[in-house]
Amino acid sequence: MNDDQLLRYSRHILLDAIGIEGQRRLMAAHALVIGAGGLGSPVLLFLASAGVGTITVADDDSVDLTNLQRQIAHRSSGIGQPKVQSAAAAMTAINPEVRVVALPERTDAQRLCVLVQEADVVIDCSDNFATRQAINAACVAHARPLVSGAAVQFDGQVSVYDARSAASPCYACIFPPEATLQDAACATMGVFAPLVGIIGSVQAAEALKLLIGTGTSLAGRLQMLDAGTMEWSEIRLSRDPNCTVCGPHRRDANAGDMTVP
C-alpha cells in the first residue's frame, strides 16, 4: 500500500476492525453488482470509495430523466447513456484506482453463473422477481454470499443470504420461486428518493463487512424499513429444508436439473 493509498483509506485503517489488513482485503476483492439504478447507485459509489479492487456492474438500461430523482450515480449530462457507463464514470471520478467492469446487458441464468463464480460477494440491486431468483440460484450453486435489497414507495427491505453457511437460508427459502408475486415497479408505484439511498447504503455496508471479514452480517435476518415513520423492524429467517434451490433436492443453476448433494 503506497502513501497515497494510506492517506485515501486512512479513516478505514484507523478502525481496529479494519486496519491495513482489512483494507488490503478490500483492494484485492471482486464485487458483482446487478443493477445500476436507485439501489445500485449508493452501492457502487460506496464500494468504489472504499477501494474494492474490482467492481463488475451489469445493467441493460439507459439513464432517463425520471431516474435522476433518486439514482445518485447519474447526472443530467448522462441522459441517454447506458447506466453502467454513467455509473462507471462516477465511480472512477471518486476513486480512479478501482477497476470497473461495466456490462450493458441483462444477465440470464447462464451468464450469472459465470459472473457470480468470479466474484467474492454479490449485491442484488435489481428490480424484478425473476432476476432476484436467478441471482440467488447462482449464488447458491457457487457458494457466494448475496446481499439483497428492495425498495418501493416508502417501504424497503434488506438481508444477506450466505450460501457458505449451512444454517443460512437462501432468498428462495423466504420467497419461493413458485410463488405468484407481482413486481412493484417504481414507474407505476413511485419511490421515496432517500429510501433507495438508505437501503443501498446498508447493502454496501454488508458487502464491505463480508469482504473484510468483520462484524456480524444480516444473514438470517430480514430488516424492513417504513420510511414514512422511519421505523425499522426485523424478522428472523430460517432455512427451508424443502427449498428447491438450496435444499437436498435442488435445481442445478446451469441446467435446471434436480440434484442431490
Where in the sequence numbering do the catalytic residues fall? Answer: 186
Given the DSSP bridges, would you call strands 221-226 and 231-236 parallel, antiparallel or unpaired?
antiparallel
d(CA 163, CA 145): 6
Residue 230 parent element (H or E): none
Contacts of 43 (CB under 8 A, 6+ apart): 33, 123, 125, 200, 203, 204, 207
Q: Which residue has the cell 457507463?
A: 85
Q: How many CA atoms lie within 13 A of 230 on its CB side?
A: 2
Is 33 strand, coil or helix? Answer: strand
The two most distant CA atoms of the chain are separated, in Å, by 54
Give me the residues paired with residue 34 across strands.
58, 124
Q: Which residue has the cell 450493458?
A: 104
Question: Cα separations (Å) of 129 from 27, 74, 162, 177?
Answer: 32, 24, 19, 8
Write the single-letter amino acid at 162.
Answer: D
Contact 253, 110 (CB under 8 A): no
d(CA 35, CA 171): 17
d(CA 155, CA 107): 26
